[in-house]
Amino acid sequence: MAKVDATNASKGYKGNKQSLPTKLCSVCQRPMTWRKAWAKNWDEVKYCSEACRRNAKQATSSR
């Protein structure tokens, strides 16, 4: 009901000197910010976490 995501993010976000690329997770639709660990395969990153990756696999394998 309370939609505080947008305001929260803009208030709590510090240090945006460099605008890092962001994406939405394919599963939970949360924005995820570029990480150094993803530098190599940023294009292939679709999920914010291992949990979401598993979720996605389950969802697709059921059909």
| 50 binding Zn ion? (CB under 5 A) | no
3-state helix, strand, coil in the chain (%, to 5): 40, 10, 50
Q: How far apart are CA 24 and CA 26, in angstroms?
A: 6
Residue of 9, 50, 52, 62 that binds Zn ion (CB under 5 A): 52
Q: Binding string, 1-40, against Zn ion, x = CB under 5 A?
A: ------------------------x-xx------------
Spatial contact of 32 and 40, defined as CB atoms under 8 Å apart: no
| Residues making contact with Zn ion (CB under 5 A) | 25, 27-28, 48, 52
